[in-house]
Amino acid sequence: MVTMNAIISASELASELTGENPPVLLDVRWQLSLAKSAGEPPFDGRAAYEAGHIPGAVYVDLDRELASAPGTHGRHPLPDLAEFGAAMRRSGVSSGTPVVVYDGGQCWAAARAWWLLRWTGHPDVRVLDGGLPTWEGPLETAVRTPAEGDFEPTPAATGLLDADGAAALARSGLLLDARAGERYRGEVEPIDRVGGHIPGAVSAPTNENVGSDGRFLPAEELADRFKSLGVSEGTEIGVYCGSGVSAAHQVLALAAAGIPAALYVGSWSEWSSDPSRAVAVGPDPQ
């Protein structure tokens, strides 16, 4: 599922939208608040979409269409694939039509949609680099109903980790923790039951995949970054985060550098919910 053209610029997107085979556009604006303070209103992605979106884009709800309900398998478990397929078809997604996904700029939610579509067999999915803030064209407020697509999700045999697989990979290959360093070290934990990391995992914060402008680093710089973290030819790589969203961004960055990686979707929200699973703290993997 590695692709060298996993990312598209705003200028490239503008050109393709006027071409012979324009991509289906998915707007996946979403935010996760780490604050536990009472009374903080949740981010409303649909309201943001209705206030203005790239012309032709269809809104996709990460919590409802790219994940199933929170539970023992984490905050954003895999969606039911039949329901996911139906949501993608409603959004106009077909197997023979390219798809471009964007969000509000962080590219975490867009990467989750990219990963799900790629893992379930769509051959041509890209993420808008830097998200909506990079778009210089007009916006529209009209909510369109696209023609039904024909996409049928077919999960790949590789690319997905469960808790046991992540633990094994931390010993036999390279397991990257995409969360902020202080959460990896166990100094703070604003959401989950306990702080720390999966024993053997290496800290690799997602925000280091992008430059000061919010766009992904060039492929060569990404490759150098991952090499410094322990990636080498033949290394089997997995990534996790808090709930399988920002880790998808890391898988996307790896793909842009030509490096295959698997995603532990349950991530720390699943791992830490089971008191029998070991937890490491501090700056070292062990």
Would you name the residues annotated as active-site residues? 241
Task: Indicate the residue type of 125.
Answer: V
Strand partners, 161: 264
Coil vs helix vs strand at 71: strand
Residue 8's nearest CA partner among 30, 20, 23, 29 is: 23
Residue 30's nearest CA partner among 11, 49, 16, 43 is: 43
- What are the C-alpha distances in Å from 211 to residues 72, 155, 216, 239, 259? 35, 32, 6, 20, 20
> Would you say 45 and 58 are in contact if contact means Cβ atoms under 8 Å apart?
no
Q: State how far the Cα of 139 lies from the Cα of 43, in Å rounded to an integer.
A: 20
> Would you say 158 and 242 are in contact if contact means Cβ atoms under 8 Å apart?
no
DSSP β-ladder status, 262-264 and 24-27: unpaired
Residue 28: partners with Cβ closer than 8 Å, 6 or more residues away: 45, 59, 60, 62, 66, 101, 102, 103, 109, 110, 112, 113
Q: State how far the Cα of 207 lies from the Cα of 119, in Å rounded to an integer.
A: 23
Residue 210's nearest CA partner among 139, 127, 154, 87 is: 127
